[in-house]
Structure 1
């Protein structure tokens, strides 16, 4: 009888615990799946879950978004694991070889990430259901899993984008749910909820770390270093459900074990879907080559990274009926499938916990595959800040570097010349060795060529950071003696001097930022041509300030490299001009590409710290733009009224800078030299044709890297001796007769990545950057956006040249 009483008490206790945590539906006041939940409501729920289950949960707020929303994790496990969480985390870091110590715990960590794309809005709803189930279920299998695992739930990776979507949907939703595709709830207004505040795709930013959300999340991610990472997405509603293994190509740094576990887990997902008679597909579309996805970058950090894609997206709303669908697609359906795969992910990890721990440790112990052992970055006073930027990123990724202790020579691949040979290494050059815990991540970021097993890819096929940062670098295969390397070099501080002339080389975006700030306060000069005075060499575009107050600008100079010199204006023999700080407008709104506009907005706001006027295309008038000196227009599809305003601005003497498809604003204008040249040749369209799949690859540029021959006689090349551009669209501009072909492609321009054979044949003697005078104005055409994803630093430098200097 006492045993039965005890059993009843235990049952009652468990039941009471369950009853105390309201279901999401009860807490929110509406059935989960019948509406979209605001971010603050989700925060309220996880705080309630922690209040009810303080011994089984931990809330980790790791920062706030640009718009001030909280970035929050919920950690769920057994009481003993929560009490011992710091030891579990520290033991896991020992497995990575990033720290040392004795391992006493054997608890794998599973990280579930939802809603990185804000309008793939089932994600946060799923997270709420998962949290409730993990804490309230009495299922023995689940209780066991929570004894053996730590579950990290990131319920919303992109709060700003999600709330943008939820606000838009709720504003349009009436008393009745309309499932017709034509209804306005199924059409988001510009810029959509997919992106964050600056309209960046956060699922392309894991490696580049440009956005606040990415940076803050990565710091806490490195505390846990999970063994499993899952990114929950939604795709267009006509598709069913995708789970791994991924499609080819898969990056060579993904290990055999990571591939194997994808298949192990996939078998469990297949069982789930077959039992429920749900449609699905695997090993199609979503590859694992590009390094900056959530699943790929976490894989390069030792986890087995997954992407799950549920049909739905912002198009689906709460319910959608379509001829492409066998039955109505509801938010409840979408929640259910992601919920079930979340649970299967946990159970699979529990079943394979020993292998997960062992193979995770092996990942950091084993030498990564790859052609190159070392990557050398040549030191340079002029490129000092670009080098610092690269080192900051590598430090963020916990990638170690050393310095060369003396001069010597190596055989290797030279990035700027795209040639292999013998090259000199100077004392103090930076060197990265892949024989380190984060060797695979290092290899992925710096290798000049990423091997591919398939040309049909989802994103970029080339991204090597020496090209992106415009650095002189060498990749080396053979061993370098350790006595030639040191961990630190003595940094020389700039000594106090009575010299009164400030020299800032125009050689990095950080230097450019400081120069632009100083322009509004005093006269800043630039050189019209290369000049040597005594032992000091000056390059065209370098900035000089004569007789400035050192104390007033002391703080600003900390973010650039500079020299104080004893020279005067007279020493330069009339080769100086004064910078004019321009008034700049950029176009935003539904005629523009949200992604490309966002990258441009971010460049001015967060990189240059230069205020600009953003004009919505729906409110664009000639009088508004005439208040500006420069108008910059990103990729988009522009109306005749917009084209007319731009034409008026140019005729009035303005400078217009056009990216990608915006080139058509002026290329279809008979007054331009480009118009004339286009009618003599064939231009490839930036927009994809109807041909798709493998047939389309012959005319496709899959995010490859091209070497662009920059016009060295033009200011466009200031501070950029060699330029490499990403190539993603199909456009090549013909060379023009009247004006300047500022960035020309030669026959051997393809350096890295994939470009289809038909497109390659059309590439030689075409232009990537063109400028011309139109009436009294100037037009500069960029075939590719120079500010793409905020990580192509040499492109941002190039745009700065187009803004602050005349093109000739």
Structure 2
């Protein structure tokens, strides 16, 4: 029996390192006898043996000083080597497309034939024009290939493979290179998540010994909290292609639309005991808007991956485990645009070598596998070049046909009083190149009244039809109701924007303009400190940020617990509950500075002429409650959800500007809680709290603290008698599902019915309560990612948000769960001594995207003293 390619390479290079290698011929096994297990190899180990390389371009090992795989490459090393490739190879151009939160550069290498390097831009423009005009590409038109690696920082084999692929493309000389330079423009993105990659390379390298430990219990293989899968704020960037909550995603989407690649690769790692996965995913779990031609092309390329692994005697699988539904992932976002996105999942080492059910898995093997599928992607794309070129044109033609068949003409959206939130949503539409028009005349259509210049219409008749349909979808049932990720990401629901779909006949009633600047802007107010106080409205999304900045600058603020009317420049103006007042009596000459600060947040300050108001409370009322600088303790650490803790941190840090104190939950007992006004607990397991911590929190609550929790954290509150509520246990939920007629094979389907992966729900909220000050409507969309159900307390004074009778408005939830959620509590606020407990059943900061509810976290901080 012939030896596997891997065995041949390993034998050759282990000999080169002076090791004794004994190979079994018949059974394809080998044993290594050595003081140390070597896990580093020169670039030529990973790359084709018949390739010659330009000696002017340094090899990775020459540049790094060691063979690839010995250490996990740091991001700064990766960046330096990519620049060296651009410096020494006339095929490579490099640019910085943006920066991560930690100011690490996001790189994109453009690799093309030196003879047409200067014409790459004209080729790109012609490619974009072909798509727009549905024009057939010329016979010599190149494929644009986007090769992206390691969007999860602790899945580093991708970025280490990118190091090698960069070298091969920059310096290699073989038939494949000739064909690639002639027929493609390759875009190499070596590290999609620089901050996460940096954290993980440090972790893996700091725990590697000379004697490599294979044990899965070894600290090298078990990261501390938070994992480096995430970016700086502990978000999953592979869920952010659509949501665009982070600078890494903004830069990536801009480049995607700039190039509109024919193929985009997305290299990941999965569980250690897996083998290797490549798409297609589960056939029944494809997004219904994705073209069947896309699946066919993905299947065609899959044969090239399979052939490559078969030649190397490597195991793999496809069409199971992973789906192609959510358009916010790297492998599916391209599918909505006529590109072919491909997900690759390599069994993870999480270190340098680890035992698995398939034997010892080495980091070098993981790198080699990703190199293998990088080459098979390039080979398969080259051989199917014409089909890929034609597909983007046919995709555009098919999209046009779908538009014509659709009875809905588009979506009408109404601008709320909070213009910032509306603009934030439009910015995302702009980033996705979704076109919209401003409504320039008053209109009342399909149950929605929109005033002149206070709304937009998103027409379905445009190239982004499929993406538009998905972000405005309220679909609740699918052919396969099992989801790897969320089943709904409706944008207006996330931003709490009133909207309606219009039929063709209804859309003709609209008078439209393409100019976004026609939209109503925030009212400009001339600076005036001649009165007794300044005031600003709380309905602005950035009101918490302005309040916080003013407090940091030494201003004394009051919040109105009830509405009032005040004299403003010879006229009267109504102010709602939650209005922030800056009395001149406490702020004196500071008020001039207040206008400059408010201008930064685009929030107008109104000058009130008298403390005696024509209507409502006066400025000296006991309902004008003092606001103090918040001091927030955020609980994290092992057992808590790194995603949700990161979302809370991100909200306060980037949108409100409050410095928070983040501690591991095991340290809570040693903290002097009297230093903090608020404690926030995201979802997690809180069994690590000892009796001292529980006693300390209880006393702090009794003395006036505000405890805020969401999802499973409130189960802990209930167990400690800080929250008086009834939370359904798993057995209570299970009892609602019939099992008698099921077979063993139905187990997965039953589990999916008991799970809520991510769906939109409507709840009715009490606008008179301070937690909801600034909201316009008492119907609030919430995003549910768990099947937690909390029974209504029966009191209107603490159950302040209740799920509607028909609460599900987008995404899948089984009938049994939906019925149980109907009428249950969504938000509970209760007093505990002189303190209060605020309990969110759902995640109000979901992925930094759910703007419509994230302000509730700001209200929970600034309005807490009003919650009596």
Report the RMSD for the aligned CA atoms in angstroms: 2.9
Alpha-carbon distance in 2 for matches of 1:244, 1:717: 45
**1:73-105 residue CA offsets vs partner (Å, 9 max, x unmatched):** 222221133221211222223234399999897
CA contact under 8 A between 2:60 and 2:81: conserved in structure 1? yes
Which of residues 649, 652, 663 is equivalent to 1:601? Answer: 649
8 Å CA contact 2:349–2:363 kept in 1: the answer is: no
Q: Quote the Cα distance in structure 2 between the aligned partners of 1:578 and 1:395.
A: 41
Structure 1 CA distance, aligned partners of 2:685 and 2:592? 48
The CA deviation at 1:731 is 0.8
Q: Following the alignment from structure 2 to structure 1, what is the Cα–Cα distance between the partners of residues 361 and 248? A: 31
Cα deviations by residue, 1:511-557 (Å, 9 ceiling, x for unpaired): 33223322343233333234456763332213333557345423532
Q: Which residue of 2 aligns with 1:777?
A: 835
Question: Aligned pair in 2 of structure 1 residues 464, 23: CA closer, same or farther (>3 Å)?
Answer: same
**How many pairs are equivalent?**
773
Seen in structure 2, the aligned counterparts of structure 1 residues 522 and 232 have a Cα distance that, compared at 3 Å, is same
Distance 1:555 1:801, change over 3 A: closer
Q: Deviations over 1:462-505 (max 9, x none)?
A: 12111111111112232422872122327566263657564432
Residue 454 in structure 1 maps to residue 454 in structure 2: no
Matched, 1:694 2:749: yes
Secondary structure of 1:626 counterpart = helix
Which residue pairs with 2:491 in the alignment? 465
After TM superposition, the structure 1 = structure 2 runs for residues 297-696 of structure 1, keeping only pairs within 5 Å, are 297-312=333-348, 314=350, 317-322=351-356, 325-364=357-396, 366-367=399-400, 368=402, 372-380=408-416, 382-411=417-446, 422-428=447-453, 429-449=455-475, 452-479=478-505, 480-481=507-508, 484-488=511-515, 489=518, 494=524, 496=526, 498=528, 500=531, 502-520=534-552, 521-531=554-564, 536-547=573-584, 549-550=591-592, 552-562=594-604, 564=606, 566-571=608-613, 572-573=616-617, 574=621, 576-621=624-669, 623-638=671-686, 639-641=688-690, 642-670=693-721, 672-674=723-725, 677-678=726-727, 693-696=748-751
Q: Provide the rounded CA distance (Å) in 2 between the counterparts of 1:620 and 1:97.
A: 58
How far apart, in 2, do the equivalents of 1:581 and 1:518 lie?
9
Match of 2:789 in 1: 732
1:120 equivalent to 2:155? Answer yes
Contact 2:727–2:788 under 8 Å retained in 1: no
Call closer, same or farther: CA 1:679–1:321 in 2, change over 3 Å: closer
- Aligned partner of 1:51 among 82, 87, 101: 87
Question: What secondary structure is seen at the aligned counterpart in 2 of 1:300?
Answer: helix
Could you say if the C-alpha distance between residues 681 and 154 of structure 1 is closer, same or farther in structure 2, counting changes exceeding 3 Å? Answer: closer
The answer to whether the 8 A contact 1:81-1:150 is kept is no
Q: CA deviation at 1:508?
A: 3.5
> Does the 8 Å CA contact 1:449/1:464 hold for their aligned counterparts?
no
What is the alpha-carbon distance in structure 1 between the residues aligned to residue 728 and residue 268 of structure 2?
44
Instruction: For 2:551 and 2:759, locate their aligned partners in 1 and report how far apart those are by CA, in whole Å.
Output: 37
> 1:428-458, CA deviations, whole angstroms, 9 ceiling, x for partnerless residues?
2211112123333333223333763310010
> 1:61, CA displacement in angstroms?
1.8
Q: CA deviation at 1:645?
A: 3.5
CA contact (8 A) 2:536 2:606 kept: no
- Deviation digits for residues 593-621 of structure 1 (CA, Å, limit 9, x no counterpart): 21111111111111111122222334323
Change in Cα spacing, 1:477 to 1:337, as seen in structure 2 (3 Å) is farther
Give the distance between the partners of 2:291 and 2:781, measured in 1 at CA. 31
Looking at structure 2, the residues matched to 774 and 201 of structure 1 have their Cα atoms a distance apart, in angstroms, of: 36
Aligned residue in 2 for 1:7: none
So what's the TM-score if we normalise by structure 1?
0.89
What is the deviation of 1:740?
0.5
- Of 568-577 and 176-185, more deviation after overlay is shown by 568-577
Q: Among residues 249, 255, 271, which one is paired with 2:285 in the alignment?
A: 249
Q: Please state how far the C-alpha of 1:694 moved relative to its aligned partner.
A: 1.3
In structure 1, what is the Cα distance between the partners aligned to 2:572 and 2:349?
Answer: 62
Aligned-residue offset at 1:692: 6.2
- Picking from 303, 314, 322, the partner of 1:278 is 314
Tell me how far apart the structure 2 counterparts of residues 243 and 490 of structure 1 sit (CA, whole Å): 46
Inter-partner Cα distance in structure 2 for 1:269 and 1:344: 5
Output the CA distance in 1 between the equivalents of 2:564 and 2:812.
41
Match of 2:851 in 1: 793
How big is the shift at 1:684? Answer: 5.7
Kindly indicate whether the alpha-carbon contact (under 8 Å) linking 2:540 and 2:774 is maintained by their aligned counterparts in 1: yes
SS at match of 1:156: coil
Tell me what 1:193 maps to: 228
Q: Which residue of 1 aligns with 2:801?
A: 743
Query: What residue in structure 2 maps to residue 266 of structure 1?
Result: 302
Once the 2 structures are TM-superposed, how far is the Cα of residue 310 of structure 1 from its aligned partner? 0.9
Bigger mean CA offset, 697-706 vs 573-582: 573-582
In structure 2, C-alpha distance between the alignment counterparts of 1:614 and 1:483, rounded to whole Å: 50
Of 85-94 and 642-651, deviating more is: 642-651
Residue 294 to residue 15, structure 1, CA distance change in 2 (3 Å): closer
Return the offset for 1:748. 0.9
User: Does the 8 Å contact 1:681/1:734 carry over to 2?
Assistant: no
Aligned to 1:703: 758
SS of the aligned residue for 2:303 comes to helix
* 3-state SS of 1:719 partner: coil
Deviations 1:676-701 (A, max 9, x none): x459998769xxxx996212122111
**C-alpha separation between the residues in 2 aligned to 1:188 and 1:269?**
31
CA distance in 1 between partners of 2:550 and 2:597 (Å): 12
Instruction: Give the Cα–Cα distance (whole angstroms) in 1 for the partners of residues 503 and 822 of structure 2.
Output: 32
**What is the Cα deviation at residue 197 of structure 1?**
0.9
In the TM superposition, residue 117 of structure 1 has moved relative to its aligned partner by 0.3
Is this contact kept in 2: 1:96–1:437, CA < 8 A? Answer: no
